[in-house]
């Protein structure tokens, strides 16, 4: 088959001419050129969004036609990073499981091309999720072989924004779903949703049978530790009301959620500290690998709100010293944190030394849950 007028106009991005041709009686919009490429494939390949929209609204359009390389319009749009066209084709009856002659699906092309936003859209789009959940031989736990981060659909849905709650709900209700599957960094859907402050998704995941709220990533950070470290108060509240939550779990540095709340020093740090301190099983005197308690961290960071709540906790030991022999008051004095000094000096039994020194480094969470540029959604340790 040769190049028709519609094929040429669509490839060149000539919307006006394409519209006129589509109105011609008897027009065949599915004809292909010598390479087996239709007007829709060529427009999708070139990124001509308005023409793709025109063609997709035409009666009789076949969106799953393939060229000689067995690529569909969806594959070409995904490979070339044309996000709006991918979204459009996902809303059409596109077959997401078709593979080209090299065995690559549309999702594979998006992932290999480094188009993280398209991969996320692909995974979290409601029509994709519904097709995934109803596919023969349950594919709900499948990880795409080209995803070097090892994320399945549920993890991608937890990373999503628009429509992510619906996608999460559909997946959590799917037969055979494993809600505790982790990516290559050890992070589950719950960890990602918690780190991003996605309360609706966290609530859905926590209510799903079989969820392990205490599962930890490769750095032993749990969902609660992650949410506390980045000051997501609403998520912390949800997690703390989930049956079986262990509020005293520690990461590879021995730091608990309470310690990270004291370190965070955000607007909600005090509220999170209060939520955690109200938990019946909380141990406010746990120490990390440096011998620091949550109170010592609050004092060293000048976190007045956290220090005030910790000092009001009946079981607090205000004179505990870290591995270098420095107490909370010593750190507050050395850092010149006057408000924290005043709080500590009001505590009965406080030992008030004279100390001069320098504040050491906090460090950070090993698994970077903030690097979500969506161009590749890479997370590193």
pLDDT at 120 over 90: no
Domain limits for position 347: 254-362
Angle between helices 164-172 and 126-134 (to 10 degrees): 10
- 81 in a domain, yes or no? yes
Burial of 81 (0-12, 13-18, 19+ CB in 10 A): middle
- 103 in a domain, yes or no? yes
pTM over 0.75: no
The position carrying tokens 């100390």 is: 355
- 165 in a domain, yes or no? yes
- Band of residue 372 on the pLDDT scale cut at 50, 70, 90: very low
- 370 in a domain, yes or no? no
Query: Distance between CA atoms of 365 and 48, rounded to whole angstroms?
Result: 43
| Same domain assignment for residues 169 and 267 | no
Classified as helix, coil or strand, 272 is: helix
**CB-CB neighbours of 350 under 10 Å:** 16
pLDDT at 295 over 90: yes
Query: Distance between CA atoms of 225 and 366, rounded to whole angstroms?
Result: 12
* H or E element at residue 228: helix 223-229
| Same domain assignment for residues 205 and 313 | no
| Residue pair 248/274 in contact by the 8 Å Cβ criterion | no
| Same domain assignment for residues 242 and 263 | no
Nearest to 128 by CA among 155, 99, 92: 92
Q: Which of 182, 212, 246 is the last residue of a domain?
A: 246
pLDDT 10s digits, 239-267: 999 999 999 999 999 999 999 999 986 78
- Write the CATH number for 203: 1.25.40.20
| Same domain assignment for residues 145 and 108 | no
| Same domain assignment for residues 189 and 70 | no
| Same domain assignment for residues 184 and 85 | no
| Residue pair 195/369 in contact by the 8 Å Cβ criterion | yes
pLDDT at 178 over 70: yes
- Band of residue 118 on the pLDDT scale cut at 50, 70, 90: confident
| Same domain assignment for residues 54 and 130 | no
Tally of domains within the chain: 3
Q: Contacts for 245-250 with beta carbons within 8 Å, 24 or more apart?
A: 245/213, 245/214, 246/214, 246/222, 246/281, 247/276, 247/279, 247/281, 247/282, 248/281, 248/282, 248/283, 248/286, 249/214, 249/216, 249/220, 249/222, 249/224, 249/225, 250/220, 250/286, 250/288
pLDDT at 137 over 70: no
């Amino acid at each position: 088959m040769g190049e028709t007028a519609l094929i040429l106009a669509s490839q060149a991005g000539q919307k006006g001419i394409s519209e006129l041709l589509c109105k011609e009686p008897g027009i065949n919009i599915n004809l292909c050129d010598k390479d087996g490429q239709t007007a829709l494939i060529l427009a999708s390949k070139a990124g001509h969004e308005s023409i793709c929209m025109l063609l997709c609204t035409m009666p009789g359009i076949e969106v799953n036609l393939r060229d000689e390389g067995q690529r569909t319009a969806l594959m070409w749009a995904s490979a070339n990073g044309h996000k709006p066209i991918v979204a459009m084709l996902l809303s059409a009856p596109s077959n997401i499981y078709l593979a080209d002659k090299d065995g690559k699906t549309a999702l594979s092309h998006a992932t290999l091309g480094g188009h993280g936003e398209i991969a996320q859209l692909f995974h979290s789009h409601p029509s994709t999720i519904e097709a995934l959940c109803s596919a023969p031989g349950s594919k709900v736990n499948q990880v795409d072989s080209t995803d070097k981060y090892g994320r399945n659909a549920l993890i991608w849905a937890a990373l999503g924004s628009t429509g992510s709650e619906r996608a999460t709900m559909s997946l959590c209700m799917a037969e055979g779903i494993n809600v505790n599957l982790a990516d290559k960094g050890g992070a589950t859907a719950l960890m990602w949703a918690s780190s991003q402050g996605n309360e609706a998704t966290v609530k859905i995941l926590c209510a799903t049978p079989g969820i392990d709220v205490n599962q930890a990533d490769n750095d032993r950070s749990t969902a609660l530790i992650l949410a506390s470290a980045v000051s997501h108060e609403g998520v912390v509240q949800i997690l703390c009301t989930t049956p079986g939550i262990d509020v005293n779990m520690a990461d590879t540095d021995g730091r608990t959620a309470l310690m990270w709340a004291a370190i965070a020093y955000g607007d909600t740090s005090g509220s999170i500290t209060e939520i955690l301190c109200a938990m019946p099983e909380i141990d406010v005197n746990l120490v990390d690998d440096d011998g620091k308690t949550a109170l010592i961290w609050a004092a060293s960071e000048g976190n007045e709100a956290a220090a005030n709540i910790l000092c009001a906790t009946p079981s607090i030991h205000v004179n505990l010293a870290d591995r270098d022999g420095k107490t909370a008051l010593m750190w507050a004095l050395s850092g010149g944190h006057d408000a924290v000094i005043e709080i500590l000096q009001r505590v009965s039994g406080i030992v008030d030394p004279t100390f001069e020194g320098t504040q050491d480094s906090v460090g950070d969470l090993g698994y970077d849950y903030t690097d979500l540029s969506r161009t590749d959604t890479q997370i590193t340790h």
